[in-house]
């Protein structure tokens, strides 16, 4: 049975650890900018979610991201015997540079682009703390999250988690997204099927699993489905 991987907490590569055992963290993929309801359910400060709701009418935009430079303990050590790293192709890097230049985040550059390329840029935005870049690449259906809420939750995540964990998570959990196969389900829906790693039930190791990243096409642009992102088979 399919199981959603992103039901709690606060990224689409922006993901944090929930503990460790025998040198392997107990991973729970969680977007740096999840829904207010998810934050509340996971025990987040209600003042944060209230402030986010109150700021819905504000015109919020991306600001420069300052990365910490102090001591850092990677909570996502490399998988034993695996040389994993989340990387962009030259095409994807060019798309990312154009998309993020001057914090423009104009999704029109992705018209006709390969869904995998869009997904890779989305994850890289999360790695770099570019919350507005993530937000603009989301497809919203019944459950809509305002830009102000999205930003407030990202701010909350940055206060509670070192932003450097995002890339380390992507290196371990999403290095094979780039090699995934896109399956077009028709009607503007599709998903990327790719190999990933997941903890064993007792958290004593990791296993290779098949994962999916669900997407929706809008006006010729493939967007990441915010309501049902990552799934495992």
* 7-23 confidence digits (pLDDT tens): 222 333 333 233 232 33
Taking residues 92-97, report their average pLDDT. Answer: 98
Q: Are 190 and 222 in contact (CB under 8 A)?
A: yes
N-terminal to C-terminal alpha carbon distance within the chain: 6
CB-based contact 138:32 (threshold 8 Å) = no
Helix or strand or coil: residue 197? strand
Whether the predicted model's global pTM rises above the 0.85 cut: no
**Contact, 213 vs 219, CB < 8 A?**
no
For 213-224, write each residue's pLDDT tens digit: 999 999 999 999
SS3 label, residue 201: coil
DSSP strand pairing (189-199 vs 206-218): antiparallel
Is it the case that residue 107 has pLDDT exceeding 60? yes
Cα 4 to Cα 231: distance, rounded to the nearest angstrom: 5
Q: Which pair of structure tokens corresponds to residue 22? A: 């025998």
> How far apart, in whole angstroms, are the C-alpha atoms of residue 142 and residue 43?
24
Phi, psi of 49 (to 5 degrees): -70, -35
């Amino acid at each position: 049975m399919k199981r959603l991987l992103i039901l709690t907490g606060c990224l689409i590569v922006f993901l944090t650890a929930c503990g460790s055992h025998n040198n392997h963290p107990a991973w729970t993929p969680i977007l740096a900018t999840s829904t207010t309801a998810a934050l509340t359910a996971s025990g987040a400060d209600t003042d944060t979610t209230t402030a986010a709701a109150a700021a819905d009418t504000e015109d919020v935009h991306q600001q420069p991201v300052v990365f910490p430079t102090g001591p850092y303990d990677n909570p996502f050590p490399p998988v034993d015997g695996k040389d994993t790293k989340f990387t962009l192709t030259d095409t994807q890097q060019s798309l990312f540079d154009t998309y993020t230049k001057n914090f423009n985040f104009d999704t029109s550059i992705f018209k006709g682009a390969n869904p995998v390329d869009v997904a890779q840029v989305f994850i890289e935005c999360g790695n770099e703390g570019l919350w507005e870049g993530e937000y603009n690449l989301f497809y919203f259906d019944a459950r809509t999250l305002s830009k102000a809420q999205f930003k407030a939750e990202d701010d909350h995540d940055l206060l509670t988690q070192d932003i450097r964990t995002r890339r380390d998570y992507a290196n371990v959990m999403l290095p094979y997204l780039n090699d995934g196969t896109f399956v077009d389900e028709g009607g503007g829906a599709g998903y990327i099927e790719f190999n990933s790693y997941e903890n064993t039930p007792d958290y004593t190791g990791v296993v290779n699993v098949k994962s999916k990243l669900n997407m929706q096409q809008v006006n010729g642009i493939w967007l990441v489905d915010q309501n049902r992102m990552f799934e495992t088979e």
